[in-house]
A = this chain, B = another copy of it.
Amino acid sequence: MTYHSGRHFLQIPGPTNVPDRVLRAIDRPTIDHRGPEFGVLGKEVLAGLRTVFRTRGNVVIYPASGTGAWEAALVNTLSPGDRVLMAETGQFATLWQKLASRLGLVVDMIPGDWRHGVDPAQVEARLVEDRSHAIKAICVVHNETSTGVASRIPLIRNAIDRASHPALLMVDTISSLASIDYRHDEWGVDVTVAGSQKGLMLPPGLSFNAISDKALAAASQAQMRRSYWAWDEMLSAGKSGLFPYTPATNLLYGLREALQMLNEEGLENVFARHARLGEATRRAVRAWGLEILCLNTEEYSDTLTAVLLPSEHDADHVRRVILEHFDMSLGTGLGKVQGRVFRIGHLGDFNDLMLAGTLCGVEMGLQLAGVPLRGSGVAAALEYLRTMATASHVPVAQNAT
């Protein structure tokens, strides 16, 4: 293969650039997962995750991808044939729906145009209609990685409350946790699903459930078959920082380091940084005269931006041009928007100049691919980043609490 000098720009919306500190942490001898040293590690990462989920409740860690944590959320709380309400916000909502169906659940899918988040009003309407409380859970994706649209969880919570509906609220935060503000307890979420390879800055291979007491109570009644994903033994072993089966020890070393790094930066600073980089990216897209896939300005994602091309241009061609000439990977359009959009990831261990380099690559690639641009997105982004550099001087690292 052609040799590439310098650093590859991995600007897909996850897996994100794993920082050296995390890679080095993973690159340590594996220890006995039944020994005393391991218990200390286990307790430490569970406590750190609670801070990141903003929960005082239960957290479990799976040696599995995020998809596994989706499955875990459902099989622990529901019974075969149960009805769940989902909303078609994009490819990942669709995949979760497909998974639920394969597991034998009946999914009510609120249709969507992939350019908006979950509509709280529609959720409320469906729940009000459901007088028999047949719907056992509402499952939404906080941040749709395929579209760059972030649904507003507090509004959905309010909708459920207004409908006085007892269904569980499950939220996928795979591409938002530790990047965008999220509050498991305060927002009344019952199961939060998350993964390691986005805001947590780890390689893929770990996933998580944060679990409310209500979800735990549901689990004691739920009839779906489960063993690997079963919360009961996980929570029981977790009290000592241990696991019911062999954990992915080396990734847990990385998790400890990543949690430490988030704490050093301070979660509020992390969120502010993602907000700044997200806004700079959107200004670039507008300056290019291209469309941001997300239509509702209240629902912009600060971790990725999906860019919609004029219909005569193939987004995958643009991506190939950029990969070939500038050694940068961008996210492909998935499902319904394949070939129409490309996605710029701007999350994780990331800063102003990395974004600047990214946008320069996108701008040159668009031009090389013959996409007409109205102006320089790079100039617009730099203007904004420069202004923010003085305006919001980053405060010294503080605790994330």
A residues in contact (CB < 8 Å) with B: 1-10, 12, 14-20, 23-24, 26-35, 37, 62-68, 71, 80, 98-99, 102-104, 195, 197, 203-205, 224-228, 230, 245-251, 261, 264-266, 269-270, 273, 323, 325-329, 332, 349-354, 356-358, 360-361, 363-364, 367-368, 376, 378-379, 382, 385-386, 389-390, 394, 396-397
Contact = CB atoms under 8 A, between A and B. Distances in A.
Contacts of A250: 18, 26, 203-205
Contact of A379 (B19, B325, B350, B376): B376
A377 B378 CA distance: 12
Contact of A246 (B66, B227, B356): B66
B15 A30 contact: yes
Contacts of A354: 6-7, 357
Contacts of A249: 15, 203-205
A225 B15 contact: no
Contact of A24 (B28, B33, B80, B245): B28
A33 B197 CA distance: 12
Given A227-B103, A357-B354, A382-B363, A32 B12 contact: yes
B23 A28 contact: yes
Contacts of A20: 28-29
A323 B352 CA distance: 12
A116 to B, nearest CB: 25
A356 B351 contact: no
A358 B389 CA distance: 16
Given A5-B265, A67-B245, A376-B379, A327 B349 contact: no
A343 to B, nearest CB: 11
A353 B349 contact: no
Contact of A364 (B266, B332, B389): B389
A351 B99 CA distance: 42
B3 A261 contact: yes
Contact of A205 (B24, B104, B251, B363): B251
Contacts of A29: 8, 10, 17-18, 20, 23
28 contacts: A1-B397, A2-B397, A3-B266, A5-B273, A6-B17, A6-B19, A10-B31, A14-B246, A15-B32, A34-B332, A63-B65, A65-B246, A66-B246, A67-B246, A99-B227, A99-B228, A102-B225, A102-B230, A103-B227, A197-B246, A203-B249, A205-B205, A205-B248, A327-B351, A353-B360, A356-B356, A360-B382, A368-B386
Q: Ordered nearest first, which 9 A-B pairs have the shortest CB separation?
A: A357-B357, A6-B351, A205-B248, A356-B360, A27-B27, A203-B250, A67-B245, A353-B357, A3-B265
A316 to B, nearest CB: 11
Given A10-B29, A203-B248, 11 more contacts: A5-B349, A6-B349, A6-B351, A6-B353, A7-B17, A63-B65, A67-B245, A68-B228, A102-B226, A353-B360, A357-B358
Contacts of A17: 6-7, 29-30
Contacts of A376: 376, 379
A157 to B, nearest CB: 27
Contact of A3 (B32, B67, B228, B397): B397
Contacts of A266: 3
B9 A33 contact: no
A264 B396 CA distance: 29
A30 B4 contact: no
Nearest to A247: B204
A364 B350 contact: no
